[in-house]
Every structure is written in structure tokens, then in C-alpha cells.
Amino acid sequence: MPRPRSLTPEQIATAALAVLDRDGLDGLSMRTVAQELGVGTMSLYRYVSDRGQVEELVVDLVLQAVDPAIPRGTPGKRLSALADRVRVVVSGHPAVVPLLLTYRHRSPSSLRWGEAMLTVLTDAGLTGKRRVIAFRAVLGYVFGALQVAHFGPLSGPGTAALAELPPEEFPILSETAARARGITPEEEFRKGFEIVLRGLGL
């Protein structure tokens, strides 16, 4: 066999994540990733079929850092801990947030995390269609909340602008936005997830 491969998918993912962390999503391109690896742009195509696959690799690399082991405690505590692990890991790489929903379902790490969540839901007595709905609702909340927090953080200019809205037209929205300043992303995510848990009866 001639010419052993010189790049691993993991190296590509690591390089892409470095670019993402440094220059954001706009800075991510085949050129910049190749440059980060010290390799020609077209060489990347020996290892991935297109840009989407690079994004897929980087999403999985990030989610690999989520420990899928099932924590101890009540079902509610277990689910909270599993969900919060995703929040912690993702908040370390905010630029990947927009990619999460697109590639989540193709990431093996995400699948392992999903199996863990479903295991806890099953232990809690959920089966059949109810379990499907519960799992999808949790998915929607977790990834939706991460994106809402990313694109419009409570301690950001967006919320500040809402607080300045004319009170005669938006009385409650402006008041609520003013009240929101200072709530941390961690508290927002955790208490929001508690609402979902309560809805599940856990």
C-alpha cells in the first residue's frame, strides 16, 4: 500500500474547531481549515467529501466531550445533569451553536447522549408514543434554548433593546426584558429545563 494517510478525521475536526473558536463561523472555510493544518485546500477533499462533512466532524468533536454516563439520583436529577453537560460543553465553543441542530442527528456522540436520556426516561416509566414525544420535547428545549441564549443572551444588547421598547405598545415585554438583565445563561437553562421536567412529571 503506497502513501499512508497523513490526516485523520480527528485532526481535521480539531483544526476546524480551532478556526471556529478563533474566527467564528464566518471564518470557517475549506481554505482556513487547510491552512490551519498546513496543507493545500484541495488536499482536504481526500478526507472529506464536502464542507458539510467538516462541519459534521466538528460538531461531533465538541459533543464527544459530553459524558454519556448516566448520573446518579432521581430521574429528574439525571436528566438535568445530562442536559447540563451539553450546555457546559457547548458554551465552551459558542460558534458551533448554529451547527448543532443541523448535524446533531448525524453525530455518534449525540446518539450516545440520546440513548442515555432515553434510558432515564424509560426508567421513569415512559414508553411508546409518550416516550417519543417526551424525548423530542427535551431535544427541542435543549437545542432551542442553547440557540436562543446564543443569538439573544439575556445580558446582551438584544435584551437591552427590548427593555427600551415603548411601554405603551409593549408594556410587559419591556418590563420583562428589564427584569432579565443579570440572569446567567446557566440559571436560565437550568430553571427552564426544570419546567420541562415538571411537565414530564419528574
Partner DNA sequence: TCCTGTAGGCGTGTGGTGTACGCCTACGAA
Partner DNA sequence: TTCGTAGGCGTACACCACACGCCTACAGGA
Residue 46 contacts residue 6 (beta carbons within 8 Å): no
Is residue 77 a contact residue for a second copy (CB under 8 A)? Answer: no
Number of amino acids touching a second copy (CB under 8 A):
59
Does 162 engage in binding with a second copy (CB under 8 A)? yes
146: Cβ contacts below 8 Å, ≥ 6 apart: 86, 87, 90, 97, 100, 189
Q: Does 65 bind a second copy (CB under 8 A)?
A: no
Q: Which of 23, 115, 164, 186 binds a second copy (CB under 8 A)?
A: 115
Task: Give the H or E element holding residue 160.
Answer: helix 157-163
CA distance 119 to 114: 8
Contact criterion met (CB below 8 Å) for 37 and 8: no
Residue 142 contacts which entry, DNA, a second copy, none (Cβ below 5-8 A, type-dependent):
a second copy
Task: Using the minimum distance from each CB to DNA, give the nearer residue, 24 or 152.
Answer: 24
Closest CA to 151 of 83, 100, 79: 100
Which residues are at the interface with a second copy (CB under 8 A)? 98, 101-102, 104-106, 111, 114-115, 118-119, 122, 128-129, 131-137, 139-145, 147-149, 151-152, 154, 158, 162, 165, 169-173, 176, 179-180, 183, 187-188, 191-201
